[in-house]
Structure 1
Amino acid sequence: MSSIRRIEPGPRMSAGVVHGNTVYLAGQVGNPGDDVAAQTKTVLDTIDRLLAEAGTDKSRILSAQIWLADMANFGTMNTVWDAWVDKANPPARATGESKLATPAHLVEIIIVAALP
């Protein structure tokens, strides 16, 4: 039976869960009030930190779900994403528009990754 390890567990959810050889990250958001580029950078920095805590890195990301409050920000978000993503190992990815937790949140990213 595979163990389950929770990363930064809280009363409502964990920032991440490791089960078997897979890491599941909760949706990560940036600082409300920042523009979409700054929020995306903050989210990706948080993803790097959580993946490292789980024992992996962005080269092992299997899939990414990106939610934007407004698809008009797709190009700006992609500029930050493209500078960050491991070009040799890009994940499967989907991007959609959705209302987020607050109107000040402009981007949320959900990641599934493999352990080495």
Structure 2
Amino acid sequence: MFASEKDFQLALDRLNAINHQWLQWQATTARKEHEDEFGDLISDREVYFTMPRPGSVSSTFKLSRRSMETYLGLMFQGAPMLEKLADQRRAARSASDVEAFKALE
């Protein structure tokens, strides 16, 4: 679905930018075979994506790479305003991080 890994990572960064900072999708490697939220198989040692479930300490949402690509495509393809909003949020967070590091000096 994505032309390159860079395009995929940009879409994932955009998704994380519009989510709460504590509800970020992260890549992880499977230690066993299991299913994701949509019933897609995640194989042992396959990279997949997790995000904490709001209100739960130990439970996460899980998406295979294939499911994440589909989800990101549905979210952002044909939605230039959402892409723009996400890019603005990414820039604002980046600027906020720079300010925080400067305050430590």
Same fold by TM-score greater than 0.5: no
Give the structure, 1 or 2, with the largest relative contact order (CA under 8 Å, sep 6 or more): 1
TM-score under structure 1 normalisation? Answer: 0.25
Q: Give the number of the structure whose residues are more often helix, by fraction.
A: 2
TM-score under structure 2 normalisation? Answer: 0.27
Q: Give the number of the structure whose residues are more often strand, by fraction.
A: 1
Max Rg structure:
2
